[in-house]
A = this chain, B = another copy of it.
């Protein structure tokens, strides 16, 4: 199979094969329908978001007058939320206008309407923009990406720049591509692989359409009023991207983005990769044995695997999908049986698209290891 490659700014988003869809959903029967449904989700962001806020307004006006009188500034807050939602909607609109995977025109007519889950996937994509491409996300990137980048840097410190550029790193589950981008910035050639069409649309937009730092404003915390200290925290803006994505242009390293299901794209791959980096990825498996075999298969002899992530098995609660959920220790035992030698095993505390201002914090103790194909 051919993956589109490109050297600099124009990171090609090629749909490798198989339908591109959200990792939390089984493959839709008709991928055109899925493309149309995702497109509709982006198109309807503005309406869905404003409608949620309108629900708050309606509930407020249904209160007894003496209750409303005790909350004289609440309507003004809702108006401000509306305004900021419009700012978000501008960014979402720009993303969908640059959609590299538009559905055929007639598909939109038959596409199922976006579900609550679709809308939540888009909101999650916006949170991912904060994680990967804002200053606010720096702490998460420092805890989750830095150990991986350090491990790569120290393992290949003996290479010349052109040897580094010939070293091929694969990042499945690449999300919005920041980790892959950092790997390229560190001098390696890197292919990002992603399955979710929401993520692919957003990553293509940031990598190919954003040219200067702080170009867009996003208000990522407007979608839930829970566990928020103050109005300022609720309305807080976030500038995107924190760097110019083109900052990696000019080197010899190649950067590509392959759309599609990891197993389908790399399942029968000859051992042609020097490194595979899995970051918050293993637990997206329905069958983690197959993931580990695929990682083993795609690596060159003595190839390197770096892993960081939790074991939040994505399909555990999905009755329509087969799922295998192992305790962490069993995953490691399995990895050794599949043919890896593990070292530098550690635990790393980190978050995932957290709101640092929130009064509720979800903290992962992620497992980290480096491994060698034996």
Taking a contact as CB atoms under 8 Å apart, the answer to whether B359 and A225 are in contact is no
Alpha-carbon distance between A199 and B289 when the two chains are bound, in angstroms: 40
**Contacts A319-B55, A364-B359 given; does A312 touch B226 at CB 8 Å:** yes
Residues from chain B with a CB closer than 8 A to the CB of A62 are 322
Alpha-carbon distance between A231 and B74 when the two chains are bound, in angstroms: 50
Taking a contact as CB atoms under 8 Å apart, the answer to whether B360 and A363 are in contact is yes
For A59, give its contact among B228, B324, B367 (CB under 8 Å). B324
Residues from chain B with a CB closer than 8 A to the CB of A225 are 311, 313, 316, 325-327
**Contacts A70-B337, A316-B224 given; does A328 touch B366 at CB 8 Å:** no
- Total interface residues in chain A, CB < 8 Å: 53
**Contacts A316-B226, A337-B70 given; does A234 touch B363 at CB 8 Å:** no
Interface check A329, CB cutoff 8 A: yes
Alpha-carbon distance between A323 and B363 when the two chains are bound, in angstroms: 28
Interface check A353, CB cutoff 8 A: no
Q: How far is the CB of A320 from chain B (nearest CB, A)?
A: 11
Taking a contact as CB atoms under 8 Å apart, the answer to whether B330 and A71 are in contact is yes
Taking a contact as CB atoms under 8 Å apart, the answer to whether B228 and A328 are in contact is yes
Taking a contact as CB atoms under 8 Å apart, the answer to whether A361 and B359 are in contact is no
Taking a contact as CB atoms under 8 Å apart, the answer to whether A228 and B363 are in contact is no
Taking a contact as CB atoms under 8 Å apart, the answer to whether A327 and B228 are in contact is yes
Alpha-carbon distance between A329 and B77 when the two chains are bound, in angstroms: 13
Taking a contact as CB atoms under 8 Å apart, the answer to whether B325 and A226 are in contact is yes
Taking a contact as CB atoms under 8 Å apart, the answer to whether A283 and B226 are in contact is yes
Q: Tell me the residues in window 271-299 of chain A with beta carbons closer than 8 Å to chain B beta carbons.
A: 283, 287, 289-290
**Contacts A287-B67, A313-B226 given; does A361 touch B362 at CB 8 Å:** yes
Taking a contact as CB atoms under 8 Å apart, the answer to whether B334 and A71 are in contact is yes
Query: Chain B residue with minimal CB distance to A349?
Result: B361
Taking a contact as CB atoms under 8 Å apart, the answer to whether A334 and B290 are in contact is no
**Contacts A70-B338, A230-B327, A327-B225 given; does A59 touch B322 at CB 8 Å:** yes
Residues from chain B with a CB closer than 8 A to the CB of A10 are none
- What does the 1/0 interface line of A27-71 toward B look like (CB < 8 Å)? 000000000000000000000000000011001101100010011
Interface check A252, CB cutoff 8 A: no
Taking a contact as CB atoms under 8 Å apart, the answer to whether A329 and B359 are in contact is no
Interface check A227, CB cutoff 8 A: yes
5 pairs, A vs B, C-beta closer than 8 Å = A56-B323, A63-B289, A226-B325, A310-B359, A359-B366
- Footprint of B on A, CB under 8 Å? 55-56, 59-60, 62-63, 67, 70-71, 73-74, 224-231, 233-234, 283, 287, 289-290, 310-313, 316, 319, 322-330, 334, 337-338, 347, 359-367
